[in-house]
Amino acid sequence: MYKTCTSDANPLMQLKKGQIIELDIHALAFGGAGIGKYEGLTVFVEKTMPGDKVEASLTKIKSNFAEATLVKISKQSMDRENPRCKYSGTCGGCQLQFMPYEKQLEFKKQHVIDSFERIGKIYDPPVADVVGCEDPFYYRNKMEFTFGYDAEMNFALGMHLPGRRYDILDLNECHLQSEFSVEIVNKVRDFAIKRGWAPFKYSCGQGFLRSLFIREGKRTEEVMINLSTSDDLPSDLDEGLSELIDILKNDKIVSIFWSQVISKRGQRKRIKEKLLYGKPTLKEKMIVKDNELSFDIAPQSFFQVNTLQAENLYSHVVDMALGKAHNTVFDLFCGTGTIGLFLAKHVEQVLGIELVEDSVKVARENAMKNNIFNIDFIASDVGKVLSSVKERPSLIVVDPPRVGLTEKIIKKMNDFGASQIIYVSCNPATLARDCNWLKEYGYQVKHIQPVDMFPHTFHIENVCLLER
């Protein structure tokens, strides 16, 4: 069955899609797959790890690489462990669960080093060991479960299957949020099936139930539920919603929302939100270096998904900032202001800049609520507003989206003459690129601290200190 290439054969002439090859996996690529060589050609095989010997079926063949799906592991890597979740490898949520957590952290650290060397041209970068989660399970404070149908067209509430547009994996086990959130999912599923409420079908725009959002304060144990539906309302809506409230109500659940997504052809999508039970916001706390702040989170608010690791991330930001005395600090791309709010205690004044007005509104409320008065916010595009800002910071903190900064923003940052920059990033590739640009303005990378916010996935967050 296997194709065996002789060493003088051109493998590309012989390889065919669907062909099964056998190879050893020697490395892991960022973003998903194990890497092996077949007759000199690099082959990416998903769901594998270094040390595995596998049989894989070729799906894509290019001149310098190929992709293959795993058929069988003929010999397991010594490092492999049994995933805790029965859906591991199926649901697409925790791609690395078969790898011991320490190995995941080593792999992520190496990825950060490689990015700096390959993309940033910064060799032997000062990358510290990754700060891992104390518990790499049940770390998420927010999950969204989708209503739909499985491949056999049975009612399903769970996750979108990777690579499939409509199929939903019906979940009754998940180790990402809490056992309590899985209980909620199971109760809502039983209720919907009993009531005969149908999932919304994207293909024809019919059906009622779209998704179930669950938020959980990891420091407060408060829980918020948000049932998102279409406007294709069932005839027993009122009776059904009050039955659902009765089923769900308990001490931990502080609010239940119903969000109706109204989408008419040719019109902008609108969301009509109704509080069915409890209070309009969930309270979460964060403790950074003995400084405890409290946050009210509404259903649509942005909030860091891993509360406990966000605390670790922010405490590294504060530690780096405390290395020098600062008067004015800029918190660029500040979201709901959390980083600036934790820095405010240590400096004279903070200015946060954020594009989304709603986030700025929440940031101001957060400041008032926590009695922090030396912080101000501007709702604007960082790229546009920086030239008109009069303050002169000695420290600039940036936390941009995955695309990173632009050369224009970096040039403007340079004009302020700050002695330190703390760059928080969820994307090592753009972080490395931007540090290379910053190097041209005289900023040197002093310390890079990776923090693992998303165990069992390929993501890695970094806090990077630059000085000149």
Ligand X SMILES: C[S@@+](CC[C@H](N)C(=O)[O-])C[C@H]1O[C@@H](n2cnc3c(N)ncnc32)[C@H](O)[C@@H]1O
Give the residue closest to ligand X by C-beta: 335
Tell me the closest approach of the beta carbon of residue 172 to ligand X, in angstroms. Answer: 32
Residues 6+ apart with CB under 8 A from 319: 289
Q: Binding to ligand X by residue 192, rule CB under 6 A?
A: no
CA distance between the termini of the chain: 61
Instruction: Please identify which residue in 355, 378, 389, 441 interacts with ligand X, judged by CB under 6 A.
Output: 355
Q: Binding to ligand X by residue 307, rule CB under 6 A?
A: no
Active-site residue (options: 204, 426, 435, 464) = 426
Q: Binding to ligand X by residue 407, rule CB under 6 A?
A: no
Query: Residue 226 or 304: which CB sits closer to ligand X?
Result: 304
* CA angle, residues 91, 93, 94, in degrees to nearest 5: 110
Please identify, among the stretches 27-35, 107-115, 329-337, 453-461, the one whose residues bind ligand X according to the rule CB under 6 A: 329-337
Give me the residue label for tokens 């979108």. Answer: 160
Beta pairing partners, 206: 201
* CA angle, residues 404, 407, 408, in degrees to nearest 5: 110
Instruction: Please identify which residue in 48, 211, 228, 304 interacts with ligand X, judged by CB under 6 A.
Output: 304
Report how many residues bind ligand X under the rule CB under 6 A. Answer: 19
Q: Binding to ligand X by residue 52, rule CB under 6 A?
A: no
Q: Binding to ligand X by residue 356, rule CB under 6 A?
A: yes
Tell me the closest approach of the beta carbon of residue 146 to ligand X, in angstroms. Answer: 24
Q: Binding to ligand X by residue 31, rule CB under 6 A?
A: no
Cα separation, 287 vs 301, in Å, equals: 20
Residues 6+ apart with CB under 8 A from 420: 320, 321, 323, 324, 326, 394, 395, 396, 465, 466, 467
Instruction: Please identify which residue in 31, 383, 417, 442 interacts with ligand X, judged by CB under 6 A.
Output: 383
Of residues 42, 68, 37, 70, the one with CA closest to residue 54: 70
Task: Dump strand ranges (E) for 240-370.
Answer: 253-262, 270-278, 282-288, 291-297, 328-332, 349-354
Q: Binding to ligand X by residue 339, rule CB under 6 A?
A: yes
Q: Binding to ligand X by residue 399, rule CB under 6 A?
A: yes
Query: Residue 214 or 382: which CB sits closer to ligand X?
Result: 382
Q: Is 94 assigned a catalytic role? A: no
Query: Residue 39 or 399: which CB sits closer to ligand X?
Result: 399
Show the tokens assigned to 343: 């820095």
Cβ–Cβ under 8 Å, residues 145 and 214: yes
Q: Binding to ligand X by residue 381, rule CB under 6 A?
A: yes
Query: Residue 31 or 383: which CB sits closer to ligand X?
Result: 383
Instruction: Please identify which residue in 147, 257, 333, 377 interacts with ligand X, judged by CB under 6 A.
Output: 333
Angstrom distances, CA of residue 415 to CA of 124, 202, 399, 411, 438: 29, 49, 19, 6, 12
| Contact set with ligand X (CB under 6 A) | 302, 304, 333-336, 338-339, 353-356, 359, 381-383, 399-401
Which residues does the annotation mark as catalytic? 426
